[in-house]
């Protein structure tokens, strides 16, 4: 990640520049400027209805922005569709798990690896029989702690395991940024702790934009935090700065951070 | 038993039955047996093709009769001109299946490409309605072709010819149709398990996930749609040769509905299930029409019962099961 002469923390991988989105009179994304630098975990927090999901849809290309720019690896991707952004290396997880439930864990990671260039029109070759693909898939399955589960059908995985698989599916593509939409949502304390550990291990390797409600997780993992309220970023700073900021406390953290 | 083995086993049992059945029937004095089996095999070819896009891609086409009719009409019309001694754009024409059949399949592929491209801009119910609308257009075009018989359809004076295979011989014709069915099922199986098939199935299960893995959905769905159109067109070609007659009835929405019913009856997404579905559907039709003209009165409730209480059609539960969690 680090280029000669440039400190890793200075390089912006994903940047949003004055992004806007309105549904009628409701401004869901209001002049959002935000930057994810290489090597950092940038957390995005905000109360329900702050516009986090819409912002992620704009970042990933599922929703068009009314105005503003999205840049990824120094390239303007504002007008690129979701699948093109994905091919550039934008990896993501979803708030509600999006997986192919009939595949086995191994098949799903193989699918992910086989779609690096957008998928193949080869009507003959069975990717499940490709030893190199299998081996690489097993590596990523192991990386997220699902070893032993590879032949299990996705539908039969526990909720936490599905979240781990979503991560494996994204990691296998060697993404240049990971956009994680509430990866701890719906998890028990134990599963949640395991996911925090896992993300902690990946920190530094992959820049991440982490949307999360679990404040303990955010304060443990994040390098910087942006606070989104009613579509506006009201504050961006380090963990300590966010904790101390009175505006943030009144708008969002309330008693939790005291 | 693993899914692979269940598929192989079921396929081999079906194949053995379809090979032996005409021989057994020939020992009786039932003259309708071989034609019945031929119809089953031809229908099977169409519904396996339909299952490829419905069962594996959730693309519910309610217009596949348009490909069935187009395949049949292309060979019948070209044969008609050849026999009349006309030239077709300066070409003398031919009766050779090796030339006519690929031409008809090409026509089906082109129609599939156009219809698929437009219909795949939509999803769900809209997709069903658009495919239906296109099939109705084809139907009314066929009805309006007065020169080719309009409503009454067009007789073929003879079947197409093929080197070293006598298509006029009902036995040879049946086993040719069966061979084509086997090849087509194996081809579809290959596609389903291929790199292409993995992506195509992923799009059905979670389009959002697939798109965020870098997949552009349209080319994958369109490819499968065209392949499906070609398979159904081949069934139409065989039907025209079997009946030596084509009519606009081949393109009715009722025909598309029959195909859909058979796929559901046999088991979606299994390839083999629809073959069993075709056997039961065509077989029952044969038996019930002897008994009453209004055979749908009996068939209808049976389909409802199987849909409600069946294990995902006749073979869906069995063929999709056996996969260790």
- B266 close to B278: Cβ distance less than 8 angstroms: yes
- What's residue B325's pLDDT? 40
User: Residue B190: which of A82, A100, A123 has the nearest Cβ?
Assistant: A123
Query: Does the residue B12 lie in any domain?
Result: no
Is residue B198 domain-resident?
A: yes
Interatomic CA distance for residues B46 and B266, integer angstroms: 13
**A192 and A184 in contact (C-beta within 8 Å)?**
yes
Residue B311 pLDDT: 67
pLDDT bin (cut points 50, 70, 90) of residue B205 is very high
Q: Does A78 touch chain B (CB under 8 A)?
A: no
- pLDDT at B72 > cutoff 80: yes
Instruction: Report pLDDT for A6.
Output: 47
Listed residue (B129, B154, B16, B214) closest to A91, CA to CA:
B214
Contacts across the A-B interface (CB distance below 8 Å): 105
Judged by a CB distance cut-off of 8 A, whether residue B215 touches chain A is: yes
| B113 part of a folded domain | yes
Q: Residues B186-197: what's their mean pLDDT?
A: 97
B296 part of a folded domain: no
- B154-155 and B245-246 as β-strands: parallel, antiparallel, unpaired? antiparallel
ipTM: 0.90
Query: Between B206, B213, B323, which is nearest A153 by CB?
Result: B323
Its domain, for residue B215, covers: 35-251
Question: pLDDT at position B248, please?
Answer: 96
8 A C-beta contact, residue B311 and residue B46: no
| Domains identified in chain A and CATH numbers | 1-89+177-258 (3.40.50.300), 98-174 (no CATH)
State how far Cα B121 lies from the chain centre.
24
Higher-confidence residue of A58 and B82: namely A58
Put simply, whether A208 touches B (Cβ < 8 Å) is no
> Does a structural domain hold residue B15?
no
Nearest residue on chain B to A116, alpha-carbon basis: B214
The string of pLDDT tens digits covering residues B297-312 is: 888 888 888 877 776 8
B162 is a domain residue: yes
B220 contacts chain A (CB < 8 A) = yes
- Separation between Cα atoms, residue B217 and residue B199, nearest integer Å: 9
- Domains in chain B: how many in total? 1
Chain A residues near residue B206 by CB distance under 8 angstroms: 98-101
Q: Residue A206: what pLDDT?
A: 94
Whether the pLDDT of residue B147 is over 70: the answer is: yes
Q: Which of B190, B210, B214, B324 would best serve as a mutation to test chain A binding (most A beta carbons within 10 A)?
A: B214
> What is the structure's pLDDT at A2?
40
pTM of this prediction? 0.93
Going residue by residue through chain A (258 aa), what tens digit of pLDDT does each one get? 444 444 545 689 999 999 999 999 899 999 999 999 999 999 999 888 888 999 999 999 999 999 999 999 999 999 999 999 999 999 999 999 999 999 999 999 999 999 998 999 999 999 999 999 999 999 999 999 999 999 999 999 999 999 999 999 999 999 999 999 999 888 888 889 999 999 999 998 999 999 998 888 999 999 999 999 889 999 999 999 988 888 777 776 555 444
Pairing mode, strands A41-45 and A224-229: parallel
B194 closest CB neighbour out of A99, A103, A126:
A126
Distance (Å, whole) CA B116 – CA A240: 56
* CA A82 from centroid of its chain's CA atoms: 14
pLDDT over 70 percentage in chain B: 97
Whether residue B8 is contained in a domain is answered as no
Which residue in B206, B214, B223 is closest to A121 by CB distance?
A: B223
Instruction: Evaluate whether residue B263 is within a structural domain.
Output: no
Encode pLDDT of B226-269 as tens digits.
999 999 999 999 999 999 999 999 999 999 999 999 999 999 99
Instruction: State residue B234's pLDDT score.
Output: 98
């Amino acid at each position: 990640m680090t280029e000669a002469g440039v400190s890793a923390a200075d390089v912006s991988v994903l940047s949003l520049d004055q992004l806007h989105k309105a549904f009628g009179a409701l401004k869901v994304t209001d002049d959002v400027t935000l930057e994810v630098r290489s090597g950092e975990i940038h957390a995005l927090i905000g109360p329900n209805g702050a516009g986090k999901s819409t912002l992620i849809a704009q970042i990933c290309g599922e929703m068009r922005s009314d105005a503003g720019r999205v840049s990824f690896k120094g390239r303007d991707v504002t007008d690129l569709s979701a699948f093109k952004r994905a091919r550039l290396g934008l990896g993501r997880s979803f708030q509600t798990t999006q997986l192919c439930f009939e595949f086995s864990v191994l098949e799903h990671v193989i699918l992910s690896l086989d779609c690096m260039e957008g998928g193949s029109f080869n009507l003959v070759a069975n990717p499940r029989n490709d030893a190199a693909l299998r081996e690489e898939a097993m590596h990523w399955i192991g990386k997220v702690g699902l070893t032993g589960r590879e032949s299990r059908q996705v539908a039969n995985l526990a909720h936490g395991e599905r979240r781990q698989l979503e991560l494996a599916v994204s990691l296998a593509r060697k993404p240049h940024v990971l956009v994680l939409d509430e990866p701890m949502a719906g998890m028990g304390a134990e599963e949640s702790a395991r996911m925090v550990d896992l993300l902690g291990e990946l920190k530094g390797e992959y820049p991440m934009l982490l949307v999360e409600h679990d404040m303990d997780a955010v304060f443990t993992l994040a390098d910087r935090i942006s606070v989104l309220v009613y579509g506006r970023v009201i504050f961006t700073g380090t963990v300590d700065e966010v904790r101390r900021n009175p505006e943030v406390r009144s708008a969002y953290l309330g008693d939790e951070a005291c | 038993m693993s899914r692979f083995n269940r598929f192989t086993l079921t396929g081999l049992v079906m194949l053995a039955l379809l090979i032996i059945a005409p021989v057994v029937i020939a020992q009786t004095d039932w003259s309708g047996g071989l034609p019945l089996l031929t119809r089953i095999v031809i229908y099977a070819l169409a519904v396996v093709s339909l299952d490829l896009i419905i069962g594996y891609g959730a693309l519910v086409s309610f217009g596949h009769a348009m490909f069935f009719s187009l395949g049949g009409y292309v060979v019948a019309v070209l044969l008609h001109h050849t026999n009349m001694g006309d030239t077709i754009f300066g070409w003398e024409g031919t009766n050779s299946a090796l030339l006519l059949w690929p031409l008809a399949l090409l026509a089906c592929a082109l129609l599939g490409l156009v219809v698929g491209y437009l219909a795949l801009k939509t999803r769900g119910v809209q997709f069903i309605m658009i495919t239906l609308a296109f099939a109705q257009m084809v139907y009314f075009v066929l009805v309006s072709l007065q020169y080719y018989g309009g409503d009454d359809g067009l007789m073929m004076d003879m079947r197409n010819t093929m080197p070293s295979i006598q298509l006029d011989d009902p036995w040879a014709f049946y086993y040719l149709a069966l061979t084509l069915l086997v090849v087509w099922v194996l081809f579809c199986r290959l596609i389903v398990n291929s790199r292409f098939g993995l992506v195509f199935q992923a799009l059905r299960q979670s389009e959002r996930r697939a798109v965020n893995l870098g997949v552009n959905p349209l080319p994958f769905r369109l490819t499968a749609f065209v392949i499906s159109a070609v398979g159904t067109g081949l069934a139409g070609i065989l039907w025209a040769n079997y009946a030596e007659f084509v009519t606009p009835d081949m393109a009715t929405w009722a025909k598309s509905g029959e195909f859909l019913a058979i796929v559901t009856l046999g088991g979606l997404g299994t390839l083999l299930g629809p073959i069993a579905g075709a056997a039961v559907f065509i077989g029952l039709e044969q038996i019930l029409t002897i008994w009453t003209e209004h055979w749908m009165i009996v068939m209808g409730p049976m389909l409802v019962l199987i849909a409600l209480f069946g294990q995902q059609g006749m073979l869906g539960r069995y063929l999709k099961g056996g996969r260790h969690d």
